[in-house]
A = this chain, B = another copy of it.
Amino acid sequence: MTDFSYLNVDNAYKLINQKVTKTPLVTNDYINNLLEADIYFKLENLQNTGSFKLRGATHKITKLIENVKVSGVVAYSSGNHAQAVAYASMINSISAKIIMPKTAPQIKIENTKNYGAEVILYDSYFQSREEIGNEIQKKENRALIKPYDDQDIIAGQGTAAIEIVNDFKEQSIEPDLYLCCCGGGGLIAGTSTYLKHIYPNIKSYSVEPIEFDDTKRSLEAGKIIENKKNAKSFCDALLAPQPGNITFQINSNNLEGGLSVTDEEVTKTIILLAEQLKIVVEPGGAVAAAAVLNNKIDIKNKKIIVMISGGNIDLNLFNKLK
């Protein structure tokens, strides 16, 4: 079993809190009245690089360069981890090579390059990003920065929960539920660990695209289950093939269960969040909001934390949604 605890998150925040943005926790009367509940949105789309991934990448790289001299890092990612690793590498003046699928959103590929990383595009159907990453790691003596299945990454992502707790304490609010998107499961593993420590009775749920509900089904089965090879979703940030080994251990311990949403529900949610909350959210960043807006769970009269994990959507796609 993993020995991951809230202390990992506490220690991560000590290292990175001056290096990442403290993002807002906001609520909106229109949405609260609509749902007869109090929804608190954690806006990690307003994090630098446009997603929570900067927390984990900053933590991992900060620890890495404190301990050993590395010639550089390598990472594979559909896009948000890519930008985060590139950005944290740029800040720390180390070289980064990032392996990204050819189909990644243009904004994510461009930003990764703009942060000074070398981008290697691969075909996600025919090639294995893990194999390409491992080869570069060995050949060039680079440290591999995994996207989620690493305790330092999980601890970094978990720091979002410390900010949520601090904001709630100021207002003397205790949340009942926590809903968070889930790809490989790093964000929800880290944040749910910290939230459970502070609020022992909180009920946490993963939210996934309906064809990528591997965490939901794995939680139900009590063992790791993969997604189908031909599964499809436009939530590009949440297409991990299966739960991570470490993240699944943590999530099995913390979560009540898993929820899932359709691409159509996510599309409507992105539009509502733009019209009412005035924020730009990417598909993967909107699934937890889609779950509350589409009655996937009873929320009436409850206080619910809803994670908005990222906002890196091509504006051309965003514009076509409505």
Question: Which residues of chain A have a CB within 8 Å of any CB of chain B?
Answer: 21, 23-24, 26-30, 43, 45-46, 48, 50, 107, 271, 274-281, 311, 315-316, 318-320, 322
Contacts and interface: CB of A to CB of B under 8 A. Distances in A.
A278 B21 contact: no
9 contacts: A21-B29, A24-B43, A45-B278, A50-B276, A271-B315, A278-B281, A278-B311, A280-B280, A319-B320
* Chain A binding surface SS class: helix
Given A46-B277, A274-B280, A274-B315, A24 B21 contact: no
What 4 A-B pairs have minimum CB-CB distances, sorted nearest first? A278-B311, A24-B24, A319-B319, A45-B278
Contact of A29 (B48, B271, B275, B276): B48
In the complex this chain forms, how many copies of it are found?
Answer: 2
A281 B43 CA distance: 16
B30 A48 contact: yes
B311 A322 contact: no
Nearest to A32: B48
A46 B315 contact: no
Contacts of A278: 43, 45-46, 50, 279-281, 311
Contacts of A276: 50
Contact of A24 (B26, B50, B280, B320): B26
Given A21-B29, A26-B46, A274-B318, 15 more contacts: A23-B26, A24-B43, A29-B48, A43-B278, A46-B277, A46-B279, A107-B275, A271-B315, A274-B315, A275-B280, A278-B279, A279-B279, A279-B280, A280-B280, A319-B322
